[in-house]
Amino acid sequence: MTVRKTVWFPRKLSEATLARARRDYDVILNDADTLSSADDIVAMSAKVDAIVPCHSELFSADVAARLDSRLKIIANHSVGVDHCDLRALKARGIAVTNTPDVLSDATAEIAMLLLLGAARRAYEGDNLVRSASWDFWSPSFMVGKQVTGARLGIIGMGRVGQATARKARGFDMEVHYFNRHRLPQELENGATFHSSIDSLLAISDFLSLHCPATPETTGILNAETISKLPDGAVVVNTARGSLVDEDALMSALSSGKLFAAGLDCFQTEPGANPKMAGLKNLFMLPHIGSATVKTRDAMGFRALDNLDAFFAGKTPRDLL
């Protein structure tokens, strides 16, 4: 008789995901849906065979060194794995997987929402109506920046970057991109490749960040790179908060160098930088890029697919 494996879910995932998990595994669920500390993670590792964490759970080198030998796999409910010290976990013999592909369109939708919201001054307009302060109109009232026909620069032309490009073409945007490697022509779909970030920045009326968080990309949007954008550009970030020097961004928004910005991720999460609240030309969302029912189910099922393969003695599809 096969002994059922025990899996810990530190955060509450979709009902469909948990129902499937309970069918196939013994499940331990954090019903409070609160953040687990390093000590919580280490203590739970002695009780389970697998953990299905989100980006909020941190597996640093210190945590990896303290994990119990019972734990065999960390099946992340996320694409990004910068919260995991992959080298340290591998040294402990712990497999790590993620959930690529399934959240690309949902995140790209948020990129376009931020792009449009920032360009057309959505925060200001919404606030005027909600606060009963809308008592004036003229041809110069709430004039924004037009998206149609503008040049969109994308840094990081992976799955989400490509999905954003497809949606931007629906607005007749001219797509340019920088990537570590040029895409095959059939994936470019007419986008213009730039072999340097500087070349891309110089022509980007709008700039959207879609690269992973690595030591090389930390602070990729900073005072120097912002200075190379056209005056009045709009920048969008749906990738990771660490990509943006927030002080430099706020300075550029205050000075008018940037017309506006849209952010779905921040250096401090949850909560973000309180200094940002006073900037009318900053449109912000609380890291909800993949927050649709369809995508949350798909992410959960992808994580479970990886668990199923691993415990069946196969190589998980998304093994890192």
Report, as residue numbers or ranges, the catalytic residues: 240, 269, 287
Give the integer Cα–Cα distance in Å for 92 and 64: 7
Give ∠ CA 306-94-45 in degrees, rounded to 5. Answer: 95
Q: Which residues pair with 176 in a beta bridge?
A: 153, 192
Give the integer Cα–Cα distance in Å for 287 and 265: 5
Contacts of 106 (CB under 8 A, 6+ apart): 289, 290, 291, 292, 294, 295
CA distance to 45, 66, 87, 89, 138, per residue, from 61 (Å): 15, 9, 8, 8, 59
DSSP code for 195 = S
Give the integer Cα–Cα distance in Å for 158 and 183: 9
